[in-house]
Amino acid sequence: MTAHNGFPLTAWATVNALGQSTSDVIDALRKTQPAFSEPPRGTGFQTVCGMVDANVAPLPASLADLDSRNNRFIAQSLSEMKPEIDAALERWSAARVGICVGSSTAAMDEIESAFRTNASTGKLPDGFDVLAKGSADGLVRAVQSLTGIQGPSAVLSNACASSGKAFASAKRWLEADLVDAVLVGGADSLCQLTLRGFRALGLLAPGPSRPFGLNREGIHIGEGAAFCLMEREGEGPLFLGAGETADAHHMTTPDPEGKGARAAMHQALEQAGL
């Protein structure tokens, strides 16, 4: 099938607190099975988080310099999609497949850990490389090495909108004929920067969130990775449209009347022809 109004998502996978495979996550959702945990050690305040199981397999020895919790989530997700990614590389060529990933902080937890070591010992951990271990550069290098993709690559960091913007960008790449397929998604690991930032804004709930409760106290955050393969042609649900706005109402607070969200939804529906 050729997507004249949208592009098919031909494969997808996820890892999060509910499970280390897509089937595990779906099964937990169907059973309404919660997966709350205490915040990372050293948080210093009460909240709950969605942490991925600590036993996620490390990266292969050949990629040890890129190993981090965040990149382990990515590797676990991509292992589920390997047949479809390999088929896309064969079909389109490695240079015509791109990578577009959203991430707020990448592996910031690795940088925080190295900072604590430096503060207590006066030196960074042996061999610590901030670009490889904790940055968006290390993230995209890990994805390239794990998949063999050689086309355009980008990591978008727009806070909570990061992965949504990645999907919108991937669609534009295909429309501009820069690529014939894009591995698109997002990955983030829990870190103190994010936890303390949300707490400073007064947004973290001390316990499980109750988004529709009259006395709701806030949100809680988690970690994980999720990816889709968006192709020019193929079988799968269609990605039809995306909307993006920047209402500039406030540094951290959206317009109280939802004007930005409304405009973004209108754009997405208009693109989709709905």
pLDDT in tens, 174-188: 999 999 999 999 999
Give φ, ψ of 171 to 5 degrees.
-60, -45
Q: What's the pTM value of the predicted model, to 2 decimals?
A: 0.93
Q: Which residues pair with 251 in a beta bridge?
A: none
Q: Where are the domains of the chain?
A: 7-239, 243-274
Going by the DSSP 8-state scheme, the letter that residue 229 receives in this structure is E
Distances 166 to 34, 169, 184, 187 between C-alpha atoms, Å? 28, 5, 6, 11
pLDDT in tens, 155-174: 999 988 999 999 999 999 99
Angle at the Cα of 39 from the Cα atoms of 36 and 42, rounded to 5 degrees: 165
**Which pLDDT does position 152 carry in this prediction?**
98
- Give every strand in the sheet of 238-239, ordered side by side: 153-156, 97-102, 181-188, 224-231, 7-16, 238-239
Average pLDDT, the chain: 94
CATH fold of 7-239 reads Peroxisomal Thiolase; Chain A, domain 1 (3.40.47)
**Which pLDDT does position 222 carry in this prediction?**
95
pLDDT in tens, 116-144: 999 999 999 998 999 999 999 999 999 99
Whether the predicted pLDDT of 2 surpasses 60 = no
Within 10 angstroms of residue 206's Cβ, the number of other Cβ atoms is 11
